[in-house]
Amino acid sequence: MRYPLSFAQAHALSLPEPLSHATWLDGPVDPVALQRAMDVVVARHSTLRTRVTASGEQVVSEAGGVVVEHVVLPDDVERAESVAAALVERPFDLARDPLLRAAVIEVGTDRFLFVLVAHRVVVDGSALVMLIADLSTVYREGLSALPRSWMDYGDYAVWQRERLDGEELVRRLEHWREVLRDAPAPVRLPAGHRAARVTAAVDPAAVRRLVDVAGGVGATLSTAFLAAYAVVLARYARRDDLVVEVPVSGRVRVELEPIAGPFADAVPVRVSLAGEPAFGDLLVRVRDATAHALSHDEVPLAKLAGELGVDLSAPRFTSGPPAAPALDLPGVTVRRHVVLTGTAEADLDLRADESGALTLEHRTDPGFAAWLLRSVVAVLEHAAADTAVAELPVPTPEGDWSAVTGPSSNGAVRTVTAAPESEADENPVPSRGRIEETMAGIWAELLRTTEPIGPHDNLFGRGSGSLTAVRFAARIADLYGVTLPMDRIFTSPTIAALAEVVSAELTPDPPDDSARDAALADLSDDELDDLLRAVVAARERRRATEGDLR
């Protein structure tokens, strides 16, 4: 069966890392029984039998399987974890391979490392938890323990596309048009690095104080964490208006709960720090902005960005600890989890739980990430209801980071400077070749790749998705003042074709002499003689005052 991609799937195509799960298990794990359980789970959830075509459709096979590799490495824990890491590093073939991998690695009697690696186009974090729970159920209770899902994920994708169209979409966009009117450009981050994480903890006494401060204005501790995050981002970006992503489940109907597949999304929360507010006042602003955003979560972020023509890529804030699922098998206990990949869907994702534990997952400069998290802790530990936001301490950066810097295609941070005035005056319109070179660099930057992008490469064949296209169009609009039509990006996805559009917009039209010629034709001979004498006199006066420059 063929279906369109859901908006979550289209976004997932642009995400660099797969989802992964790895746990050390102590006890009698039966690899054969685990394989049988996997067969049942794959039969139940059609998304696990899905591949993606080059034209952007998902194709679901009637039958298909995921092999649970059984690897035996006696007493070699280090090599077992290397094998698990290799499962993550191996690229998926979206057109052919099963987009889920599994392995059970045996290192000794009753000691196993269980590994799942999934492309984000078939599952999100919640779906991965569901799959592990289903595997456990079938392993414990037998092959008939799971009923078949009442709805295929592909049917949901069709329903979603039809639902977000026409008058229904127009109605849902009205709120966001107002909220995001004149929204600021995304905060620019030092980027180009692999996913990593850094952790910190807020002093317990400060956490207790923040609970009281937030409660005093009808907010939660999570709101205080988000407000502090906004303070640091605003200080870094030197602005008092910014957008932060807040994740949502994306399962907009309770009927969608038992369906495995990627639903997770985010809503843009616009935070204003204008007017020199106190921290308590900022909490009220963040509380209200978050509540309004969450109550209008029906339009996927990528769809919202495309319809409004704005770049909504932003730092993300996630409340609560990450899910830590594990197989629940008879006589088997979980020894520990192994982190193979990050879970962040943004270049900057701050996660905070009620204890004050903070985790920043990022794809930025490690020093910058450490500074930002340290700054958030400093703000939280000094914030009180009546503390002026402008007076909250943000440590001085140790590195040369600035919101006016951006990543180069090779991952190095470069400072964005204006061209000298003389150079700009000499050649105000960049050449076609220079436009192609710049566009290729921007696309490589968005994909975080160092591989060269040729002028005739299919951009969507390089792992891009619709959100990448939106971000690309926004960058081109900022740089050249030219709006690239989204349909042109999708129908002509090459640097050469898109550079032609920009070049045509930037090149001034040749002068139209027809109106002048018509006016001269209407003049009499005497009028033409008078005009000629006036022109000669004007030229003589110019020579007398400025010198003959011929």
More confident residue, 343 or 519: 343
Tell me which CATH code domain 156-324+341-382 carries: 3.30.559.30
Ranges of H-type helices in 164-203: 166-179
More confident residue, 64 or 376: 376
CA distance 473 to 80: 44
Confidence band, pLDDT 50/70/90 cuts, at residue 428: low
CA distance 268 to 363: 20
Confidence band, pLDDT 50/70/90 cuts, at residue 251: confident
pLDDT exceeds 70 at position 145: no
∠179-184-190 over CA atoms, to 5°? Answer: 135
- Decide whether 2-152 matches 432-506 in CATH topology: no
Q: Under CATH, which architecture does the 2-152 domain have?
A: 2-Layer Sandwich (3.30)
What is the pLDDT at residue 465? 66
What is the pLDDT at residue 415? 30
CB hemisphere CA count around 90 (13 angstroms):
16
What is the pLDDT at residue 414? 30
Tell me which CATH code domain 432-506 carries: 1.10.1200.10
Confidence band, pLDDT 50/70/90 cuts, at residue 233: very high
The distance from CA 34 to its chain's CA centroid, rounded to whole angstroms, is: 35
Q: Which residues contact 219 (CB under 8 A, 6 or more apart)?
A: 283, 284, 286, 287
What is the pLDDT at residue 547? 44
Mean pLDDT score across all residues of the chain:
83
pLDDT digits 0-9 by tens, 442-477? 887 777 666 778 888 878 776 656 667 777 887 787
Q: What are phi and psi of 118, to 5 degrees?
A: -135, 140
Sheet-wide strand order for 348-352: 191-201, 357-364, 348-352, 316-319, 241-248, 265-272
More confident residue, 421 or 51: 51
* Gyration radius (Cα) of the chain, Å: 29
Q: Which residues contact 155 (CB under 8 A, 6 or more apart)?
A: 3
Percent of the chain with pLDDT over 90: 43
What is the pLDDT at residue 466? 65
pLDDT exceeds 70 at position 531: no
Mean pLDDT (whole number) for 269-277: 94
What is the pLDDT at residue 179? 93
CA distances, 173 to each of 115, 156, 181, 266, 376 (Å): 41, 21, 12, 15, 33
What is the pLDDT at residue 236? 92
Identify the CA nearest to 338 among candidates 106, 18, 21: 21
Domain boundaries defined on the chain = 2-152, 156-324+341-382, 432-506, 515-546
CA distance 315 to 247: 11
pLDDT exceeds 90 at position 390: yes
Confidence band, pLDDT 50/70/90 cuts, at residue 419: very low
Residue 246, strand partner residues: 267
pLDDT exceeds 60 at position 63: yes
Least confident of 87-101, 188-202, 269-283, 298-312: 188-202
What is the pLDDT at residue 395? 85
pLDDT exceeds 90 at position 71: yes
Mean pLDDT (whole number) for 343-350: 83
pLDDT digits 0-9 by tens, 291-328? 999 999 989 998 898 888 888 889 999 998 777 788 99
Contact 327, 139 (CB under 8 A): yes
What is the pLDDT at residue 393? 92
- The pTM of the whole model exceeds 0.75: no
Confidence band, pLDDT 50/70/90 cuts, at residue 402: low
pLDDT digits 0-9 by tens, 29-60? 999 999 999 999 998 898 999 999 888 889 99
Mean pLDDT (whole number) for 418-439: 60
Least confident of 121-135, 275-289, 425-439: 425-439
Q: Which residues contact 302 (CB under 8 A, 6 or more apart)?
A: 7, 10, 11, 465, 466, 467, 470
Least confident of 133-137, 151-155, 503-507: 503-507
CA distance 136 to 23: 14
Least confident of 75-89, 199-213, 523-537: 523-537
Mean pLDDT (whole number) for 276-289: 96
Contact 225, 352 (CB under 8 A): yes
Confidence band, pLDDT 50/70/90 cuts, at residue 520: low
